[in-house]
A and B are shown apart, each in its own frame.
Chain A
Amino acid sequence: MLARIRWGGVPGFVIRRVLLGLIVLIMVSIVVFAATQALPGDPARAILGRSATPQSLAALRLKLHLNQPVFTQYWTWLTGLLRGNLGTSLAAQEPVTTLLRPKLVNSSVLVAVSAILSIPLSIAIGSWAALKREKIFDTLSSNLLLVLAAIPEFVVAVVLVLLLATTVSHVLPAISNIPPGSGPWNYPSALVLPVLTLVIVVAPYVARIVRASMIEVLESDYIEMARLKGLPERTVMIRHALPNALGPVFQVIALNLAYLAGGIVVVEFVFAYAGIGSALRDAVLNHDLPVVQALAMLIAALYVALNLLADVATIMVTPRLRTRL
């Protein structure tokens, strides 16, 4: 079976990229481990805080294997990682997977809903603006998107809270408190403001790239040819222009999705949303190394996976690249 997969072609490309991705992740794991080791302070002291005694410190260090050589600690951690065992949270004293799973679900829902809304929206806005180039819609949307792209996410969040939750009107909850044990889908109103914030933060970038890419494609010879042949504008756009314009757009979408995974830290903070963002903040404050390491690896893996997906998608819509493999 394996022998039949050629190193060339799309399957071979995917396999090579996956292997490369794994190598990247192992390198990332070294960096993450080294960085968390280099953090100043002693985790045992950070956990016990003001009430630390020499005895309790020694006992905790032993329990956390902090007295083992660094390489042994790394090896224990890496092998655990490969077996899906992310260790035990130092602060909460429970497995990292148990601790992070519900938060990961909450954050994934937030990112997924934001992506599902923002990607088609930004493609639509960008394409329409390109089609109506230099007309009113294009001018208005381009300027508005430029302004929105320049506003940091916490400002967007605070303005939305003022407008919709506290000062101007009270139509939506100001904080998104998802009680433990239930999912965000049970509290759709709590999702609206965080999702809206992320959409406003991400959509402008994607829309602007779509517009630029689309304009380039619309000026190309084959589009002119299609129009000269008398094809309806709809067909020209959807069958000929859009697939060609989407190549660079996939890359931007991937980068923005990866950004979403990190950018939700701020959004989760403002809305007191229990996701990996707040978990990361808590873990850094508590010097909770296993949780910090797990989240850093998770975000790195997401970057690698999204880039891989974007590359594959780009190749699928670009026959020219496909044949070169």
Chain B
Amino acid sequence: MADISRRQLIGGAAGLAAVGGLAAACGGSSGGTGTGTGGGGGGGGTPKRGGNFRLGVTGGGSKDIMDGQNIITKPDQARLMTAFETLLLFDDNYKLTTDGLAESVTADNPKQYTIKLKPGIEFQNGKTLTADDVLYSFQRIGTKGNGLTGYAATATMDIAGMKKLDKYTVRLPLKTPDATVPQTLASYTFNMVPAGYKAYPAPQIGTGAYKLKSFTPGQQSVHVRNPNYWRSPQPYFDQVTIIDFNDATAQVNGLLGSQIDAMTDLPSSQVKVLAGRGMHPLVSETGGWLPLCMAIDLPPFDDVRVRQAMRLIVDRPQMIQQVLSGYGKQGNDLYGRFDPGYDSSLPQRHQDISEAKSLLKAAGHQNLSVDLHTTNGASGMVELATVFKNQAQAAGVTINLHNDPNYYGTQYLKLAFSVDFWGTRSYLNQVQQGSLPNSPYNETHWPPKSGTGSNFISLYNQALATTDDAKRVEIEHEMQKLEYDIGGYIIPFFGDLIDGYSDQVKGLKPSKGTLNLDSFGHGFRTIWFG
């Protein structure tokens, strides 16, 4: 897929000129990506063709969809990865690469990018991927009424002003400077679709490794090998079957009984069971996190001392043990841990009950009693709230736990104290998703409207407009210092992603990305049956 030096080079850049500059160094890499174990193989020897790969996924239901640029449930993520691809690509270390559909993405100036496609890539129906498809793909995501996941990220893009320069080149002007465009272009909901594309039940034609054969929401979808895939000789399976499961017990049973070959979200209690039976748990360190969210404008959390006290109540190592069975890394109330701009120099927060007590006393909340809302959403959300409730008792704080099945339907984003979930993102992308007044999911109502921290938005805009990496990181550190000192998130840990697969499956390795199973074997193309 990529040689080390290129990865390091791109990784250091995280954005502008470098991605463009790199293009020259790796142009024409498309041909050789699939050979040997370079495609992501963690052992297993030479890839072999054939077989029906059966993947069990929880979290789906009759709401399942297939759309190249949108997801609702987790099996939708897997389905999307079978047939659709992005312009840029994150590698397993969450570094940007030009291994996607674009040969280069160059920043001509802070307000303009040029996207150059790899020539000759064909869609599954034989049509060549051209600038027109790129224009259509951007327009589709950027149309608010389409309600696609990627819409929020198009806020800075002047999509109406996009221009086709030649068959394979597109100019993307920006409304306001945005250094995170390359990361956005590598997000899995920013896939390229052919001009005129529509969601299922319309035909699903992408550039990806497998063609959709059948799809029954809530049950399963079947995908057959695309023989004209541009990364020949990938993919290796004849067929991929994505099967919906209601719960992990049936999934584990199916894996142990060989009715499926791999499963998403293995419960941590089952890791040893699987390993003891000749199966493989796949433990991936991720940048995903479950926050306790305090709304900074709602009582009692409108008092910064209460927020600080809450953050000092948390015993993070104990939380990792109890919520994640040890499968996680300590958090420091900051997100974006794989971003080069992540400030690891800020001191690690530890439990300090006496300090928490005196802060609460100073704030006039000695016997604080608050409601904490959670739901059986992402795994661990309920456990996190329960463990926090117990830890809070030591500081004399009473937590009234509400586990509400309709949490995301009714009260979400309006609550003073709640639990949520987030995947891996770079820092500025995450800010745009959750920490600005116009973010789609701002649980903490950050930033403050006045006083300390109210300059957060202008810092953000400054960071987006800064093309010099070192300077931008400086601004990002300033932003993180504000969130670290007075923000509304308690981020106790970054959880590991744990999946399971049978001994027959080769080529999977841990990845730092958001998606399960090494981004589903990079779209089911770098894995095979040994």
Q: Give the residues from 245 to 283 in chain A that come closer than 8 angstroms, CB to CB, to chain B.
A: 269-272, 274, 278-279, 281-283
Q: Contact at A272–B254, with CB atoms within 8 Å?
A: yes
Which A residues touch B51, using CB under 8 A?
none
Residues of chain B within 8 A of A167, CB atoms compared: 256
Residue B243, interface by CB 8 Å: yes
* Distance, CA A92 to CA B258, complexed state (A): 30
Q: Is A53 an interface residue (CB 8 A)?
A: yes
Confirm or deny: B253 has a beta carbon within 8 angstroms of a beta carbon on chain A.
yes
Q: Mark B231-260, 1 if CB is under 8 A from A, else 0.
A: 000000000000101110111011011111
Within the complex, which residue of B149, B214, B250, B257 is in contact with A270, where a contact is CB–CB below 8 Å? B250
Which residues of chain A have C-beta atoms less than 8 A from B253's C-beta? 161, 165-166, 174-175
B62: chain A residues within 8 A (beta carbon): 89, 91-92, 99, 279, 282-283, 286, 288, 291
**Quick check: is A232 within 8 A (CB to CB) of the other chain?**
no
Interface segment among B37-45, B216-224, B295-303, B472-480: the answer is: B216-224
B410–A45 contact, CB under 8 A? yes
Q: Is A49 interfacial (CB 8 A cutoff)?
A: yes
A-contact bits for B439-468, CB 8 A (1 contact / 0 none)? 011000000000000000000000000000
Is B409 within 8 A of A45, CB to CB? yes
B412 within 8 Å of A by Cβ? yes
A50 touches B408 (CB 8 A): yes
A175 touches which of B72, B149, B257, B441 (Cβ 8 Å):
B257
Please name all residues of chain B whose beta carbon is closer than 8 Å to the beta carbon of A47 when the two chains form the complex: 63
Complex partner residue of B410 from A40, A56, A274, CB under 8 angstroms: A40
User: On chain B, which size bracket covers the interface?
Assistant: 20 to 34
Q: Is the CB of B219 within 8 A of A180?
A: yes
Interface residues of A in 267-319 (CB under 8 A from B): 269-272, 274, 278-279, 281-283, 285-288, 291
Whether B72 contacts A49 by the Cβ 8 Å rule is yes
Is residue B406 within 8 Å, beta carbon to beta carbon, of the partner chain?
yes
**B220 in complex: contacting residue of A42, A180, A279, A285, CB < 8 Å:** A180
Instruction: Kindly state whether residue A196 has any CB partner on chain B within 8 Å.
Output: no
Asked if residues B257 and A51 are in contact (CB atoms below 8 Å), the reply is no
Closest A residue to B407 using CB positions: A41
A103 → B minimal CB distance (Å): 9
Partner pick for B409 among A49, A166, A174, CB 8 A cutoff: A49
A175 to B56, CA, bound (A): 11
Q: In the complex, A222→B218 CA distance in Å?
A: 58
Binary B-proximity of A37-60 (CB < 8 A = 1, otherwise 0): 000111001110111010010000
Whether a CB of chain B sits under 8 angstroms from the CB of A227 is: no
Residues of the A chain whose Cβ atoms lie less than 8 Å from the Cβ of B259 = 173-175, 177
CA A321 – CA B232 in complex, angstroms?
78
- State the Cβ distance, B58 to closest chain A Cβ, in Å: 10
Chain A 51-87: CB-based contact to B (< 8 A → 1; otherwise 0): 1010010000000000000000000000000000000
In the complex, chain B residues whose CB is within 8 Å of the CB of A166: 253, 256-257
Instruction: State whether the Cβ of B147 lies closer than 8 Å to any Cβ in chain A.
Output: yes
Interface range for A: 35 or more
Could you say which residues of chain A place their CB within 8 Å of the CB of B412? 50
For A50, give its contact among B61, B63, B441 (CB under 8 Å).
B441
Assembly CA distance A176 to B368 (angstroms):
51
Q: Please, how many angstroms separate the alpha-carbon atoms of A317 and B373 in the complex?
A: 59
Specify which chain B residues have a CB less than 8 angstroms from the CB of A282 in the assembled complex.
Answer: 61-62, 218, 246
Is A179 positioned at the interface, with any CB of B under 8 Å from its CB? yes
CB distance from A136 to the nearest CB of B (A): 37
A56 close to B147 (CB less than 8 A): yes
In chain A, residues 148-194, which have Cβ atoms closer than 8 Å to a Cβ of chain B? 158, 161, 165-167, 170, 172-175, 177, 179-181
CB distance from B514 to the nearest CB of A (A): 15
A180: nearest chain-B partner, CB-CB:
B216
| Minimum distance in angstroms from B271 CB to a CB of chain A | 16
Given A50-B408, A167-B256, also A91-B61 (CB < 8 A): yes
A279 to B217, CA, bound (A): 11
B 55-79 binary contact with A (CB < 8 Å = 1; else 0): 0000001110000000010000000
Tell whether, in the assembled complex, residue B147 and residue A285 are in contact, meaning their CB atoms are under 8 Å apart.
Answer: no
CB-CB nearest in chain B for A284: B405
Q: In the complex, are the beta carbons of B257 and A286 less than 8 A apart? A: no
Interface contact B63-A173, CB-CB below 8 Å: no
Q: Nearest Cβ in chain A — how far from B141, in angstroms? A: 13
Which among B62, B147, B216 has the highest number of chain A CB atoms within 10 Å? Answer: B62
Closest CB of chain A to B408's CB: distance in Å? Answer: 5
Contacts of B258 in A (CB 8 A): 170
Q: How far is the CB of A17 from chain B (nearest CB, A)?
A: 36
**Distance of A153 Cα from B147 Cα, bound (Å):** 43
Assess the B214–A180 pair: CB atoms within 8 A.
yes
Q: Is the CB of B406 within 8 A of A269?
A: no
Closest chain A residue to B70 by CB distance? A51
Q: Which 6 A-B pairs have the closest CB atoms?
A: A174-B257, A41-B406, A180-B216, A45-B409, A174-B253, A166-B256
5 pairs, CB–CB < 8 Å, chain A vs chain B? A46-B408, A51-B440, A92-B62, A269-B250, A272-B254
Mark A residues whose CB is within 8 Å of B: 40-42, 45-47, 49-51, 53, 56, 89, 91-92, 99, 158, 161, 165-167, 170, 172-175, 177, 179-181, 269-272, 274, 278-279, 281-283, 285-288, 291
Having A46-B408, A177-B220, one finds 4 other A-B pairs with CB under 8 Å, namely: A45-B410, A51-B149, A166-B257, A287-B409
